[in-house]
Amino acid sequence: MKQKINCIILDDEPFAVRLLNDYALKTDLLNIVYAGSDVYEVMKLLGSESIDLIFIDIQMPELTGIEMMKMFNKNHNFIVTTAYAEYALEAFDFHVVDFLLKPITFNRFYQGVQKFIQWQQAFIPEPQTEHLFVRADRKYYKIAFDEVIYIEGLKDYIRIHTINDKVMVLENMKDILEKLPENRFMRIHRSYIIATDKIKVVDGNRIQMRNQDFVTVGETYRKPFSEWIESSGR
């Protein structure tokens, strides 16, 4: 079962609180941390609890919904529930997922919850691949990025130097570079791509890799490599 969405319902009308609370229970998607009209209790909860979503009314006597959103906009998401359509434009200056105009039906409430779920999923990064497959000797070899020390270009072929092996592949340097994560690999010569975390020593334009092999930084690549060295040392 997926983890429920921790939510708060804040409204100064008891009927509205009961209605939204009933709707939230019907969805079976929401965990109601608080439902009521006490803005100061909500402020305490927002400072101490992990809250995913806040259903908030605009016109409340002690602190308006707009004022609350100004205070907590940076780290929280809101669905506005109000009888006043004129607040819509101002409300969307904040992290407002949806604007529900009273009277609110269950279907409209459910649409707002689904909109929040879709919005959340849009910000979940896709898992990064940690390997690539290469073809050699009529077989496919799975090579983990962590095992690659450097790649050597040999005309129409490349030789992948790994921690435990060397694999000769019919591939060019440009194409293999596009398959590698750019934050972990760098081209330093027309014939060399290195895994930056496998560098052992840099001596001028010569680099000793972790397997004790030496590679050379080509003239075209010296400036970007030097800039990378400087930025890595900060």
Higher pLDDT among residues 126 and 189, named by residue: 189
| pLDDT on residue 88 | 77
Mean pLDDT for the stretch of residues 89-106: 86
Closest CA to 29 of 124, 92, 126, 120: 120
More confident residue, 153 or 48: 153
Are 193 and 186 a contacting pair, CB within 8 Å?
yes
Fold match flag (5-122 vs 131-232): no
Extents of the domains making up the chain: 5-122, 131-232
Predicted pLDDT at 124: 59
Closest to 188 in 3D by CA, of 234, 141, 153, 158: 153
Which of 58-62, 108-112, 149-153, 158-162 has the lowest average pLDDT? 58-62
174 vs 182: CA distance, rounded Å: 13
What architecture is domain 5-122?
Answer: 3-Layer(aba) Sandwich (3.40)
For 92, the token pair is 């969307």
The CA distances from residue 185 to 79, 157, 158, 198, 228, in Å, are 43, 19, 15, 10, 12
Length of the chain: 234
Q: Is the N-terminal amide bond of 103 cis, ω within 30° of 0?
A: yes
Q: Residue 147: exposed, middle, or buried by beta-carbon count in 10 A (0-12, 13-18, 19+)? A: middle
pLDDT per residue over 157-209, tens digit each? Answer: 999 999 999 999 999 999 999 999 988 999 999 999 999 999 999 999 999 99
Per-residue confidence band for 126, with pLDDT thresholds at 50, 70 and 90: low
Q: Is the distance from CB of 49 to CB of 6 less than 8 angstroms?
A: yes
Mean pLDDT of the chain: 90
Predicted confidence at residue 85, as pLDDT, reads 85
Phi then psi dihedrals of residue 112, to 5 deg: -65, -40
pLDDT in tens, 11-40: 999 999 999 999 999 999 999 999 999 999
DSSP string, 94-121: SSEEEEEESSPPHHHHHHHHHHHHHHHH
Residue 69 to residue 99: CA distance in whole angstroms: 13
pLDDT in tens, 52-75: 999 999 988 888 888 888 888 777
When pLDDT is averaged across residues 124-153 and rounded to a whole number, the result is: 85
Specify the residue for token string 């608080």: 34
Domain range 131-232, its CATH number among 3.40.50.620, 2.60.40.420, 3.40.50.11810, 2.40.50.1020: 2.40.50.1020
Q: The whole model's pTM is what?
A: 0.54
